[in-house]
Amino acid sequence: MTLIIGIGPVLYTLNNPDPQIQSLLFCKLRGYIFQICLMLSRWFVAFACIDRFALTSDKITLRNFSKPKIAYRIIIIIIIFWSIICSHRLIFYEIKGSHCGIINNMAAALYHSLYVIIGGGIFPAMIMIICAYFIRRNLAHKHQRRAQLSLGDYQRNPLDQQVLNILFMQIICYIIFTTPQLCNLVFNTISIMSPDRSNEHLAVESFLNFLAELMLYLFPVTSFYLYTLTSRTFRKESIKFFRSVIGPKNRIIPVIGGTTDGHHLEHQKTTTNACGVPVKISVMEIT
């Protein structure tokens, strides 16, 4: 959804007028839904880290938190929460020249910058980093306890290390891909304070917006590539899945009988031809 809503209008404008500056309704809805999708892609990963932390905990109360029904409720709560928080875009977005956004309202622009920087950048990153630390500590305690119980014969589970590698790569990519947008928001907020901006200033601002938005598109679509590059188990399961999809589905499997040793048996079966005359045919069976 992030890619369709974000890149779709850009591709459409290659041979058509830009709908964002032609329709105020489209300008508002596109910015509103696009912001919700971005926030959901970030906070779903953050709460997935919380879920992994609860799953690796020694405490039963925390492990009980990692259940599908709780995950479904949290997903619904997150969607409702960000649908309300991002609703200011429906109110304050406007069109001025070739620009669609918050242009003349300084208070709304400050609110937008602060909630994106804090709610979309700092808080999710902090949750991911803190959860990664506690997950690593929980797994270390688990390894130590298993090693003591096995009296020195215990070997570290490589799957746990792969999960940690995936988590760390997600955090690193999240910080790399979201930092340009946070810096761009600060730059745009400062630019609003100077209403008399030159054409060169507007061109630089538009170019920075394009680069920052391009970086935002990368994070929601990097999960598969991160998992493939960092997890050997994920690569094996992916190869197995694709082979099952593109491989042969219909195979002839011989029926093995209990009293024979794989010989062919031939018997005759009576049927009728097109004229209704009984005809005997030979039938081969594999036993």
Span 228-239, average pLDDT: 83
As a whole number of angstroms, the distance between CA 249 and CA 34 comes to 41
Residue position matching structure tokens 């980093």: 129
As a whole number of angstroms, the distance between CA 284 and CA 12 comes to 63
As a whole number of angstroms, the distance between CA 79 and CA 37 comes to 9
Residue 75 has pLDDT above 90, yes or no: yes
- The pLDDT-based confidence of 79 (bands split at 50, 70, 90) is very high
Span 194-216, average pLDDT: 74
- Identify whether the C-beta of residue 118 lies closer than 8 Å to the C-beta of residue 110: no
Domains of the chain: 2-194+204-246 (1.20.1070.10), 253-287 (no CATH)
Query: For residue 171, which amino acid is it?
Result: I
Query: For residue 236, which amino acid is it?
Result: K
Q: What is the pLDDT of residue 195?
A: 62
Average pLDDT score over the chain: 77
Neighbouring-strand partners of residue 269: 281
Kindly report, residue by residue over 157-194, the tens digit of the pLDDT: 666 677 777 777 878 888 888 888 877 777 776 766 66
As a whole number of angstroms, the distance between CA 129 and CA 106 comes to 33
Whole-angstrom distance between the N-terminal and C-terminal Cα of the chain? 55
In sequence order, what DSSP letters do the residues of 227-267 get, joined into one string?
Answer: HHHH-HHHHHHHHHHHHHHHS------PPPPSS--S-EEEE
Q: What is the pLDDT of residue 15?
A: 86
As a whole number of angstroms, the distance between CA 4 and CA 11 comes to 10
Span 263-285, average pLDDT: 48
In sequence order, what DSSP letters do the residues of 138-154 get, joined into one string?
Answer: HHHHHHHHHHHHTTT--
- The pLDDT-based confidence of 73 (bands split at 50, 70, 90) is very high
99 DSSP assignment: E
Q: Which residues contact 172 (CB under 8 A, 6 or more apart)?
A: none
Cα 184 from chain centroid (whole Å): 24
Kindly report, residue by residue over 14-67, the tens digit of the pLDDT: 888 888 888 888 888 988 998 898 889 889 888 988 988 888 888 888 888 888
As a whole number of angstroms, the distance between CA 96 and CA 103 comes to 8
Span 6-16, average pLDDT: 84
Residue 240 has pLDDT above 80, yes or no: yes
Kindly report, residue by residue over 185-202, the tens digit of the pLDDT: 777 767 666 666 677 777
Locate 39 and state its tokens.
């926030």
Please give the share of the chain, as a percent, with pLDDT higher than 90: 6
